[in-house]
Chain A
Amino acid sequence: MSPEMNSVPNTIFSPELAARFDKLVTLYPARRSALIPMLLYAQDEVGAVNDAVIAEIAQRIGITELDVRNVISYYSLLHTKPHGKFHVQVCTNISCMLRGGNEMLAHCKEKLGIGNKETTPDGIFSLEEVECIGACCWAPAVQVNYDFHDNLTTEKMDAVFENYRQKAGKS
């Protein structure tokens, strides 16, 4: 496949994202460098890097779908099945563990009524125990989608949940 001929007539992405991708592949010395950002941004819009996303991105970059899957399965932020609308990622790595990360995880499980890597039946929340997210000095820390919540206590966490639940209600 020659790298020039990857225009995608029937894109599954929004016009904005498609335009962004058209540009992204031109920014690097090699087209393939755009792969990981594309996968992440596509996932943000579509909700998961599903088969359709994989097919289109493989085409845009000019590599095989297998190659795309090889990459996806390596990176922990990429997922082929959808998460909840708000993906709650609780860090339990050493710094957070020392300041109550495990307890925070237990609290979230109880509060949401789901286990690790599960999604609430209403699809609003999903939960994941994660490795260090780079907020060690403000532990315990939780990331909901891309938003950081630091220095948490269980009460503060409840407020965070409440906040997201309201957001979910609005949209």
Chain B
Amino acid sequence: MADVNLTVDGKKVTVPAGTLLIEACRAAGIEVPAFCYYPGLSLCGACRMCMVRIEKMPKLQTACTTPVAEGMTVHTETPEIAQARKATVELLLGNHPLDCPVCDAGGECELQDMTFKYGAPTSQYVEIKQHREEQQWSPVVYFDRPRCIMCYRCVRVCGEGMDVWALGVQNRGAGSVIAPNRQDHLDCEECGMCIDICPVGALTSDTYRYKTRPWEMNHVATVCTHCGDGCKTTLGVRRADDGMEIVRGDNRDKSGINEDFLCIKGRYAFDFANHPDRLTKPLIRQADRSFATATWEQALELAAKKLKEVRDTKGPDAIGVIGSNRTTNEENYLLQKFARTVLGTNNIDHHRTADYVSFVRALAGKADRAASLRDAGTAPAILLLGNDPTEQHPALAWALRTNVRLNKAKLFLVNTSDIKLRRQAKAFLHIPEGGYADAVRFLGSNDADFHGIEGAADFRDALRAEPKLLILFGSEFRGHDIDALVSFGLSLPDARFACLADYANSRGAADMGLLPDLLPGYRPVAAPGPFAEEYPNLPQKPGKDLIEMFDAAERGELGALYVVGANPVERYNVDPASLKNTFVIVQEMFLTETAQIADVVLPAANLYEKGGSVTNSYGDLQLVKKAGDRAGVRSDLELIVRIADRMGAKPQQLVPFGRGLRADTGQSRGAQSGEADRHSIWLASRQIEPKVSPFDPYAVLDEIARLVPGYDVERMNLLAGNDVRTKLVSIEPAASTTRRDLVLPAQDALFTSGTLGRYSAKLAEVHESHRKSPAETAAD
């Protein structure tokens, strides 16, 4: 669209035609106050705070509803305008409780800010205020009606943004009130977007309300540990007796890949970190099979000794290593490097929730066709096969809805069930159970008929006409089905692809080579390329996969099993008795089913308690930052290095620290909590200069950037807290494709999150309350 020139407070501004005046002012660096206006949501013009003077217009105009016009001259801060805003604030305060000292929003309240800027220092109002008791609307949402200023943000974000429509406006005039869909409670997706978007303290969350003051927290923007979308979440942390306690999760830093969005898990399900069952002391199995707490020295010594013993007596093939979907890339990388170079085995695997191996192979040489999550918000057309993003990828669902709503993107769905996103879909191909392979074959064929489904051919024709199609698919697709889908997509001019997986770092686990046959970057162990040199003594034969490891244990051939941040016993229904002859070392937060059968349990930090990077389903790489801190736990990175060290390996060989200049961001030093700097003590005791540490994830990241194709990303951007693209698929397709299908979808829904979810009291509570009353919503 053509550009329009206007003058705002004497500044010349040029913006595209159709821009709203309030946005044009913002573009010129002039903030026009607004309560009801919220970018991306429908316009209200209700709060009247954004009134400005436009020359040649008789009255003050609302900047939020006025599109710019050529030659417009605008004044945004005249005495007349200040008086109008002051009057509006006075009117609001007339009925607003002045309970700022205890209000959750105190210090972060837009009404407070406006009162400070424009408000009257004295009040004319002596009438009795309308009082209403606070109401609890859901396990997480509270509503304090008198504080509500009726900006309708919550109603719109819930309806337009979430497509849940659980909030409404009832009554009229001064009696107007925001109302939940079940009269006295909410039946919704519990995303908490309404709380986030509320400019005042009318909507508050159960997890945070009356807990602390905003200025008493540190705000750490990091990446959510739950699903594969990798939303940025800002954790509010506060000193506690045993470290730094996370007291709030929200999305006040809207710079993330999730933009405005955050779901229930990113917002509330940080509480597992504070769970009373959290392990904080190493445990060692006693002769009577019971656990006893031990010192770190004892536990690490025992673990290292056993691993060394099995390696040296039974051979490296008698050791298995299982990594995690929730640890950092650096930890995953290090774990496989440890397995391959210190233990000397390729027996390494993880719980796979998507077939990235096939995906990467299918896209070989076409790294530029791999899509980012951000593409879901901008692509003109999207084909989604399988999956239910509303439940499994809430941020993706948000991006798709927003894209359809604001950009009129076309959404095409292929699914066996009638998923909620169907309401946004332009076309929906409802296929029979198990019909994905057929569906893809149909898309690539010229068949007239597909299971007699009406409109199937039109659906295919419409897709073929899309010049820029984004193709997303779920874990329903594996192996050859992925090949077929990708080859269909590559027949279109500029299709892009993403393969959806379930956990915060499922993609990173695969990319970093937690696979028995593939090295980091999906390099076959038989053709290791640069790793041949980097990894001395790298075994060339593919190792055992996860199932094979347990089979070997059953046969009594697995001397030791090292499990980092995973719960295979529960996931794969492993009979604990089958491991009776295996020495099991588990790094965990909780005494999971797997930890319960361990011989040594090492209490580990979680993703909110350390630094590093993670890769979401789409290959977007982001930094995680240390927010919480729990006395007694150690990061998995540290534990791996220390076990290796005790086994006699050289830490410098494992972690290339001390080479070149590198910032030590302090995560491994507990800089935030002011705790004893145990790492510098450790370093000092070994006469190593405590400037850079073997526990520094950035040192590992350096090596990843160097050796993993596609991970050589823009470092500055990454360090600045932005998401950057990895481009990993430049390797040749692997020759052997006889692997069996090991994908086991997590089957998490909106209110579950694998083992972790069980330790989130809030998530469990919400899950329970929704099992009682299943959600039901309808479109407007």
Contacts and interface: CB of A to CB of B under 8 A. Distances in A.
A166 interface: no
Nearest to B165: A64
Contacts of A74: 170-172
B59 to A, nearest CB: 27
A28 B779 CA distance: 20
A67 interface: yes
B168 A67 contact: yes
Contacts of A65: 181
Interface in A55-76: 62-67, 69-70, 73-74
B141 to A, nearest CB: 15
A64 B181 contact: yes
Contacts of B166: 66
A66 B181 CA distance: 5
B83 interface: no
Contact of A62 (B165, B171, B181, B778): B778
B100 interface: no
B179 A70 contact: yes
Contacts of B72: none
Contact of A70 (B168, B778, B779): B168
B780 interface: yes
B179 A64 contact: no
B168 A69 contact: yes
B168 A66 contact: yes
B165 A70 contact: no
A73 B171 contact: yes
A76 to B, nearest CB: 9
B777 interface: yes
B169 A63 contact: no
A70 B167 CA distance: 10
Q: Max chain A CB contacts within 10 Å: which of B166, B168, B171?
A: B168
B170 A67 contact: no
Contacts, number: 35
B780 A69 contact: no
Interface string A1-24: 100000000000000000000000
Contacts of A66: 165-168, 179-181
Contacts of B168: 66-67, 69-70
A35 to B, nearest CB: 12
A101 to B, nearest CB: 21
A1 B779 contact: yes
A52 B422 CA distance: 29
Contacts of B778: 1, 62-64
B172 A73 contact: yes
A57 to B, nearest CB: 13
A63 B171 CA distance: 18
Interface in A30-73: 62-67, 69-70, 73
Contacts of B165: 64, 66-67
Nearest to B170: A73
Most buried by A among B167, B180, B779: B779
A63 B779 CA distance: 7
Contacts of B777: 64
Contacts of A67: 165, 168, 780
A5 to B, nearest CB: 12
A69 B168 CA distance: 9
B170 A70 contact: yes
Interface in B157-192: 165-172, 179-181, 183
Contacts of B179: 66, 69-70
B170 A69 contact: yes
A58 to B, nearest CB: 8
A74 B173 CA distance: 9
A109 B154 CA distance: 42
A69 B172 CA distance: 12
Interface string A64-94: 1111011001100000000000000000000
Contacts of A70: 168-170, 179
Nearest to A2: B779
Chain A CB within 10 A, most for which of B169, B183, B777, B778: B778
Nearest to B183: A69
A70 to B, nearest CB: 4
Contacts of A62: 778
A63 B780 contact: yes
A134 B699 CA distance: 81
A15 B677 CA distance: 80
A70 B179 CA distance: 8
Contacts of A69: 168, 170, 179, 183
A63 B169 CA distance: 15
Contacts of B167: 66
Nearest to B187: A66
Nearest to B182: A66
A30 to B, nearest CB: 12
B178 to A, nearest CB: 10
A31 to B, nearest CB: 12
A65 B776 CA distance: 11
A82 to B, nearest CB: 18
Contacts of A63: 778, 780
Nearest to A72: B170
A69 B178 CA distance: 12
A1 B165 CA distance: 14
A63 B777 CA distance: 9
Contacts of B180: 66
Contacts of B181: 64-66
Contacts of B171: 73-74
Nearest to A65: B181
A64 B170 CA distance: 14
A2 to B, nearest CB: 10
Interface string B568-582: 000000000000000
A49 to B, nearest CB: 13
B185 to A, nearest CB: 12
A54 to B, nearest CB: 10
Nearest to A68: B168
A166 B167 CA distance: 46
A60 to B, nearest CB: 13
B142 to A, nearest CB: 19
Output the residue of A62, A66, A73, A74 with the most chain B CB within 10 A.
A66
Nearest to A75: B172
Interface in B762-779: 777-779
A65 B166 CA distance: 10
Most chain A CB neighbours (cut-off 10 Å) among B169, B170, B179, B180: B170
Given A66-B180, A69-B179, 20 more contacts: A1-B778, A1-B779, A64-B165, A64-B777, A64-B778, A65-B181, A66-B165, A66-B166, A66-B167, A66-B181, A67-B165, A67-B168, A67-B780, A69-B170, A69-B183, A70-B169, A70-B170, A73-B171, A73-B172, A74-B171
Q: Which 6 A-B pairs have the closest CB atoms?
A: A66-B181, A70-B168, A73-B170, A66-B168, A64-B778, A73-B171
Interface of A: 1, 62-67, 69-70, 73-74
11 contacts: A1-B778, A1-B779, A62-B778, A64-B165, A65-B181, A66-B165, A66-B180, A69-B170, A70-B168, A70-B169, A70-B170
